[in-house]
Structure 1
Amino acid sequence: MSQYSVADMMVVAIARRLKNNEKVFHGVASPVPMVATMLAKNSYAPKLVYLNIAGGVNTKPKKLEKSTDGPELIEGCASMFTLTDIFDLSARGELDVAFLSGVQIDVKGRLNVSAIGDFNKPKVRLPGGAGSAVLVPTVKKAFIWRTKHNKRTFVEKCDFVTTQGNIEYIFTPLCIFKKDEEGLKLDRIFKNSSLEEIIENTGFEIRYDEIVYEEEPTKEEMDLLDKIDPEKIREIEF
């Protein structure tokens, strides 16, 4: 067993689920998806097409920075595009994976990044949906990540539904949920956690077919991860 952090586990788990020839996009404030996509591109899925909000296609940055919208993310790229192009690509059914997140995520797999409480008089006004309202319904697979797993985040019903649609997986520090016709179902548990901890920290009933643990990161995966991200940018979301 290799030594690894929660961030390492999330990044590796995400990367394992990206496939060759998929067009994969991440936006701003996305260190975990950024590093995960680069890990997949350099190991499991070398033919993956990596797209980022900075406009780079298959970029090869010399060094990762904290921003996921910086100029280094167009270094060595094969070509460039605009964010409008990404929305068009998704609307045409040609974007395979988009990474998004939510402040509230409910049992049906709906996301809230708009407001906590009554929308007209909210307790907290959130930043809003930005591209998520377009991408989640149109992308083939939305991969959702959230670096906090508690009852404030995972709720029975969102206070406001900013977007819903083609969610495939939700990755947290404790586990992986997969969305089916009924809503979210527990898919994998990380070995740093347990079913009891997940139940205790989730605001809805946990459905599952069987208890399955995600394999821990291997030494090879950790060595490559540290080569790609030696400054551990992946840790800054935690």
Structure 2
Amino acid sequence: MNKSYRTSDLMTCAIANLLYDGETVFHGVSSHLPMVAMHLAKQLHAPNLVHLNIPGGVNPSSVMSASYSSAGADLVDSSEAYYPLEEVFDLSMRGKLDVAFLGGIQFDINGNINASVIGDYHKPKVRLPGGAGSAVLIPTAKKAIIWRTKHDRRTFVEKVDFITTRGNLWKIVTPLCIFEYRYGKLHLDSIHPTSSLEEVKENTAFELLYDEVKYTLPPTEKQLQVLKKIDPDDLRSLEF
């Protein structure tokens, strides 16, 4: 296994590779990894990508000083313009938001996403933050990308405990693989070079659907060099 990069580097580069030049892309709170990936994409292959965030910043010049929440005022202070959150929801509902990065705690093969409770809704073992904006953005954004830094059978379950949202899901990027939602089911899109089909199977509670076994492109030397420059504080690894 190539030791020149870590899982956080691999996931960041894999997410950056999913973004295209000219797209309008939004990330929310506690979204350091996709935030860095958006900046990486702008630096390398998508200079005209439009970066939107929760505090209202448009194309912040840097993420190096971003606050711990990835939703601080610094992301506005260094931005080209101000675009408030309520306008992001309106943009998405008008079909003008290309990509939204969102989170979740449980996922099943049918593309259901749980961010509300673990256990029975009325007597939960754990009550989670809830859907926040995802109930609007997942159905209305052109492409919804989920990232999750844990991949185990408690995360990728046979049936979620509660359906917070579902719908226009596109990709789920994990430390082991990338899932793609198509034909109403999650399909295995690619396995990371640091993992294996057997490892993904062992850590997924539902049946793996795939046409062929494909592997995620590893980070390039150029991507790793740029990551060190734009993210010297290693914000992309905060969730690990």
Which TM-score band applies after superposition, normalised by the shorter structure? over 0.9
With over 3 angstroms needed to count, the CA separation of the structure-2 counterparts of 1:211 and 1:62, relative to structure 1, is closer
Aligned counterpart, 1:125: 127
Deviations, residues 21-42 of structure 1 (Å, cap 9, x unaligned) = 1100000000111000000111
Aligned counterpart, 2:41: 40
Moved more, 1-10 or 208-217: 1-10
Q: Distance in 1 between matches of 2:3 and 2:42?
A: 22
Question: Tell me, what secondary structure is at the counterpart of 1:155?
Answer: coil
Q: Distance in 1 between matches of 2:139 and 2:168?
A: 6
From 80, 87, 90, the equivalent of 1:88 is 90
Aligned counterpart, 1:115: 117
> AA paired with 2:128?
L
Preserved CA contact (<8 Å) 2:63 2:75: no
Instruction: Quote the sequence identity (%).
Output: 55
Q: Does 1:17 align with 2:22?
A: no
Gaps of 5+ in 2: none
Preserved CA contact (<8 Å) 1:191 1:213: yes
Cα drift, residue 75 of structure 1: 3.2
Cα drift, residue 54 of structure 1: 1.5
Q: Does 1:7 align with 2:8?
A: yes
Question: Tell me, what secondary structure is at the counterpart of 2:64?
Answer: coil
Aligned counterpart, 1:234: 236
Preserved CA contact (<8 Å) 1:174 1:198: yes
Question: Tell me, what secondary structure is at the counterpart of 1:154?
Answer: coil
> AA paired with 1:37?
M
Aligned counterpart, 1:31: 32
> AA paired with 2:17?
R
Question: Tell me, what secondary structure is at the counterpart of 2:190?
Answer: strand
Question: Tell me, what secondary structure is at the counterpart of 1:127?
Answer: coil
TM-score when scaled to structure 1? 0.97
Aligned counterpart, 2:56: 55
Q: Does 1:153 align with 2:159?
A: no
Cα drift, residue 137 of structure 1: 0.6
- Map 1:194-209 onto structure 2 (within 5 A): 194-209=196-211
Moved over 2 A (4+): 61-67
Q: Distance in 1 between matches of 2:9 and 2:207?
A: 27
Aligned counterpart, 1:168: 170
Preserved CA contact (<8 Å) 1:100 1:144: yes
Preserved CA contact (<8 Å) 1:14 1:36: yes
Cα drift, residue 101 of structure 1: 1.0
Give the CA RMSD over aligned residues: 1.1
Cα drift, residue 229 of structure 1: 0.2
Q: Distance in 1 between matches of 2:184 and 2:117?
A: 25
Cα drift, residue 111 of structure 1: 0.6
Cα drift, residue 62 of structure 1: 6.7
Question: Tell me, what secondary structure is at the counterpart of 1:86?
Answer: helix
Deviations, residues 105-124 of structure 1 (Å, cap 9, x unaligned) = 11111110111111111111
Preserved CA contact (<8 Å) 1:174 1:189: yes
Preserved CA contact (<8 Å) 2:25 2:49: yes
Aligned counterpart, 2:104: 102
Cα drift, residue 2 of structure 1: 7.0
The number of residues matched between the two structures is: 238
Deviations, residues 84-140 of structure 1 (Å, cap 9, x unaligned) = 001000011100000001110111111101111111111111111110111101111
Q: Distance in 2 between matches of 1:41 and 1:62?
A: 12
Preserved CA contact (<8 Å) 1:40 1:46: yes
Preserved CA contact (<8 Å) 2:111 2:184: no
Deviations, residues 57-81 of structure 1 (Å, cap 9, x unaligned) = 1111372333201122123312102
TM-score when scaled to structure 2? 0.96
Question: Tell me, what secondary structure is at the counterpart of 1:226?
Answer: helix
Deviations, residues 192-227 of structure 1 (Å, cap 9, x unaligned) = 100000000001000111111112111111001111
Cα drift, residue 157 of structure 1: 1.2
